[in-house]
Amino acid sequence: MAGDLFLKNGVIITLGREGEVIEGGALLVREGVIEAVGPNLEMPTDFTGPVRDLGGRLVLSGTVNSHCHFEEMAIRSLNHSLPLEPWLPFKVSAGKYLNLSKEEFTAFVTLACVEMLENGVTSGLHHMSAGPTADEERMDAAIDAYRATGLRAVLCPLLADKTRREEMPIDPADLPGPLRELLEADTAPSAEFLLERAEAALDKAESAGSSRITGAVGPSAPQRSTDRFLLGCMDLAESRDVPLHTHLLETKTQAHHAQGVYGKTIPEHLQDLGYLTPRASFAHSVWVTDSDVQLLAENGCRVAHNPGSNLKLGSGIAPVRKFLDAGVPVGLGIDGANSSDKGSVFYQARLAALIHCVRDGDAARGVSPFEALRMAARGGAEVMLMEEKLGTIEAGKQADLVVLNRTLNFEPWLDPVSALAFAEDGDSVESVFIEGEEVVRDGRALVADREEMLRIVEGAARRLRENLPEAVAEAESLRPHLHAVSRKYSAIPFDQA
């Protein structure tokens, strides 16, 4: 529920283009919208809402998780030392084995939302794995979790109309008999059916009765989708005026495989289809070429950078400096709890501020602390097509705010922006407001029954722990073959941007 609020005596990090930091600043919120902000702002005489003296605490716009699979909380930290190609079947196998009930799915998504809120995340694009047919109960469960926690969320079911044997860069004939039979028996829903499910998700988001819950169209990835399905997704997103979000070139294997399938890069193929538009956003975008960067820039596309996931899975480092220089908006994503285990965009901002200092062999070509924080808030808002309402502290924006304690992360007090980027990971979060409503106080979420959710989650986790070999048997049988494919393609040069 949108609220009124007056915050005073804070250090306000606006994240505007000029990088203004207002010490001793105040902020006036009415009906969930920032009405005024400044160093000498007086509380209006007619103001009757809550007043908070921040005592020098830091305030900045809520961080935005621009790409995430919330439900991956169910397999947090299950795998390591695997590239994406053999890693993905473990996620699929464990999910199939768990076969989460609606209650369990709700609990996992709820706890993911709570963790994000307590780490200063106020918005998230939920690229939700809801089964091959975008299960109705799972969509309802996700919306229940968003409502229970108050998180601003974009419901974006992950859909694909190609079978695993079509998307994998592996010839089933090279596999042992049982694995070959497994892949040859695989089926996928039709493009028409999946477009109906995508539209149903948009209808659910619209009818959720909350300004904080919206929808998006989310084909899984171009290599997992027919051109017919991609074009249908594009038309649906256009007709409903919502974001169009997908994965793009996460691994070197995908880049080489795409050349074999399309005879060109995936962005070049998408350009031919007319898919590249300002509403299109792409998670990862690691193995793009210089010309791909220009194509995304010329078409107004957006990128969700996932540094933690790309490092853990060994996927590579996206050419973020080149994206920024070309004018491509870049947000930050957590991805999922099994590929980037901490639910904090501050943590992703820290990684972004560090890894790009070494990517091109020139620290001066890295991502500055200010750019990393802008990606954490404003950039994520751009990925979700919400830059007009989120991402900076200025009059007219929604009052999605994070208040941080002056912990030792910021001492001595020299450069709060740099300290935020390099030293903060979410542990200093004291309060979080969404549309002026307080949803976190003293570092703890005020909504959702945490203990009940933990009880439900532990039951499902115990089921997986006690039967792990059986649960991941299919993935384990595929692992050596997919790992070999990944190693093969990793050894082949590629002209990365």
- Per-residue pLDDT reduced to its tens digit, 412-461: 999 999 999 999 999 999 999 999 999 999 999 998 888 999 999 999 99
All residues at 6 or more sequence positions from 67 whose CB lies less than 8 Å from its CB, including other chains: 125, 127, 245, 283, 284, 304, 306, 331, 333, 334, 335, 383
- Per-residue pLDDT reduced to its tens digit, 101-120: 999 999 999 999 999 999 99
Residue 454 lies in a domain: no
Residue 237 lies in a domain: yes
Please list the residues that pair with 156 across neighbouring strands: 127
Residue 55 lies in a domain: no
Residue 135 lies in a domain: yes
pLDDT of amino acid 434: 98
Question: What CATH number is given to the structural domain containing 76?
Answer: 3.20.20.140
How many C-beta atoms surround the C-beta of residue 185 within 10 A?
Answer: 9
Would strands 152-159 and 218-219 be described as parallel, antiparallel, or unpaired?
parallel
- Judged against a pLDDT cut of 80, whether residue 1 lies above it is answered with no
Weakest mean pLDDT among 23-32, 129-138, 158-167, 464-473: 129-138
- Per-residue pLDDT reduced to its tens digit, 373-392: 999 999 999 999 999 999 99
CA 2, CA 5: separation in Å to the nearest integer? 10
pLDDT of amino acid 390: 98
Weakest mean pLDDT among 156-170, 238-252, 399-413: 156-170
Residue 11 lies in a domain: no
3-state secondary structure of 288: coil
pLDDT of amino acid 448: 80
Using an 8 Å Cβ cutoff, are 423 and 345 in contact?
A: no
420: its two tokens = 């935020």
Boundaries of domain holding 105: 62-391
Q: Please measure the distance between the N-terminal and C-terminal CA atoms of the chain and give it in whole angstroms.
A: 45
CA 496, CA 20: separation in Å to the nearest integer? 35
CA 140, CA 106: separation in Å to the nearest integer? 9
In total, how many domains does the chain have? 1
pLDDT of amino acid 40: 87
3-state secondary structure of 335: strand
pLDDT of amino acid 415: 96
pLDDT of amino acid 17: 93
Residue 489 lies in a domain: no
The DSSP call for residue 378 is I
pLDDT of amino acid 185: 85
Say which amino acid occupies 220.
S
pLDDT of amino acid 133: 76
Share above pLDDT 90 across residues of the chain, in percent, rounded to a whole number: 92
pLDDT band at 288 (very low <50, low <70, confident <90, very high): very high
pLDDT of amino acid 166: 87
Would strands 280-284 and 244-248 be described as parallel, antiparallel, or unpaired?
parallel
CA 261, CA 257: separation in Å to the nearest integer? 6
Residue 473 lies in a domain: no
Weakest mean pLDDT among 35-44, 56-65, 154-163, 173-182: 173-182
pLDDT of amino acid 432: 98
Name the nearest CA neighbour of 104 among 464, 451, 462, 460: 460
- Judged against a pLDDT cut of 90, whether residue 174 lies above it is answered with no
pLDDT band at 169 (very low <50, low <70, confident <90, very high): confident
Please list the residues that pair with 58 across neighbouring strands: 11, 404
Would strands 429-434 and 401-404 be described as parallel, antiparallel, or unpaired?
antiparallel
- Judged against a pLDDT cut of 90, whether residue 170 lies above it is answered with no
Mean per-residue pLDDT, 245-251: 98
Please list the residues that pair with 125 across neighbouring strands: 154
Say which amino acid occupies 456.
I
pLDDT of amino acid 436: 97
- Per-residue pLDDT reduced to its tens digit, 71-82: 999 999 999 999
pLDDT of amino acid 354: 97
Mean per-residue pLDDT, 247-258: 96
Would strands 58-61 and 21-30 be described as parallel, antiparallel, or unpaired?
unpaired
Any idea how long the chain is? 497
Residue 479 lies in a domain: no
pLDDT of amino acid 186: 85
pTM: 0.97
- Judged against a pLDDT cut of 80, whether residue 132 lies above it is answered with no
Name the nearest CA neighbour of 122 among 357, 400, 372, 444: 400
Name the nearest CA neighbour of 154 among 111, 102, 100, 113: 113
- Per-residue pLDDT reduced to its tens digit, 12-63: 999 999 999 999 999 999 999 999 999 989 999 999 999 999 999 999 999 9
Mean per-residue pLDDT, 334-346: 97
Sign, CA dihedral 419-424-430-433, equals positive
